[in-house]
Amino acid sequence: MPAYLALDTSTEHLSLALSGGAAGLTVRDWHVGQRHAELTLQAIEQLLADTGVQRSEISGIAFGMGPGSFTGLRIGCGIAQGLAFGLNIPLLGVSTLQALAAQCEGEQAYVCLDARMNQVYCAAYRKQDGQWLETVAATVCDPDAVPLPEGEGWIGLGSGFAAYGSLLAPRLGNAIASIVPDRFPHAREILALATPLFDAGKGLPADQAELLYLRDKVALKTHERVAKP
């Protein structure tokens, strides 16, 4: 069974997930604030040491590609790229919003992350044949202007509901059946979403890593991020 590593640094949390080793799957998360650059690599090394998995045994690396904290995303992508380059293995970026939706215990997830600047990142996903499919495209907007999903019975997840619940509630109305505001994108779901893609040979070379900046409406590749002011 191949070993895959996943990491997410898109919020104030740092999360890691590793498949392989005696445990099969090991997950870790910490609230680190803005200390991702300081802590991520040493956390990965400790995870590998604890599980007995060698760097050379890792067959692919997945990371949260956004949306999320601009600085956090750059740190996570840079670390994933550096490891993938050094090990000559593929990597994959996974949407943090889809990873958040994958935590939903129902079939319909309306995910909403605090985007700061009095805005939210949001999207809606419906589970079909075991896959989380986007039904409302990911966007960034004011909380009182979020796009509406079709029908009712949606479960709201994410920090956007904690930060702007009083604005989201009247906007979304009866579409939302329940809210779980304390969820955040986690490497566990990033790994679960990326694993079948890695197994199918759909991993990408490290220099094709992308980050999703919704405020710019584009997914920027490495050379584009370098050129961005």
Task: Say whether pLDDT at 213 is over 90.
Answer: no
- 170 shares its domain with 196: no
Q: Dihedral (C-alpha) 101, 102, 108, 110: value to the nearest 10 degrees?
A: -10
Task: Say whether pLDDT at 43 is over 50.
Answer: yes
Phi, psi (rounded to 5 degrees) for 96? -65, -30
Q: What share of the chain is helix, strand, coil (3-state, %, to 5)?
A: 40, 35, 25
- 132 shares its domain with 27: no
- 88 shares its domain with 134: no
Buried b (16+ CB within 10 A) or exposed e, 83-94: bbeebebbbbbb
- 24 shares its domain with 92: yes
* CATH number of the domain encompassing residue 211: 3.30.420.40
- 20 shares its domain with 68: yes
Q: How confident is the model at residue 21 (pLDDT cuts 50, 70, 90)?
A: confident
Number of compact structural domains in the chain:
2
Q: How confident is the model at residue 221 (pLDDT cuts 50, 70, 90)?
A: low
- 9 shares its domain with 88: yes
- 15 shares its domain with 82: yes
The last residue of a domain, from among 180, 197, 213: 180
- 48 shares its domain with 82: yes
Q: Which two tokens stand for residue 85?
A: 């380059």
Residues 41 and 148: their CA atoms lie apart, in Å, by: 39
Q: Identify the bridge partners of residue 93 per DSSP, sorted by sequence position.
A: 63
Task: Say whether pLDDT at 227 is over 60.
Answer: no
Q: Does residue 2 have a cis bond before it (omega within 30 degrees)?
A: no
Q: Identify the bridge partners of residue 111 per DSSP, sorted by sequence position.
A: 123, 157
Q: Which of 58, 88, 66 is nearest to 8 (CA)?
A: 66
Instruction: Give me the chain's average pLDDT, please.
Output: 93
Mean pLDDT of the region 18-30: 91
Q: Kindly state the helix (H) or strand (E) to which residue 7 belongs, with its residue range.
A: strand 3-8
- 85 shares its domain with 9: yes
pLDDT score for 20:
85
- 110 shares its domain with 176: yes
Structural domain span for residue 214: 3-96+185-227
First-to-last CA distance in the chain?
42
Q: Which of 140, 158, 138, 160 is nearest to 149 (CA)?
A: 138
Q: What is the CA radius of gyration of the chain?
A: 17
- 9 shares its domain with 86: yes
Residues 44 and 167: their CA atoms lie apart, in Å, by: 38
- 85 shares its domain with 190: yes
Task: Read off the pTM.
Answer: 0.92
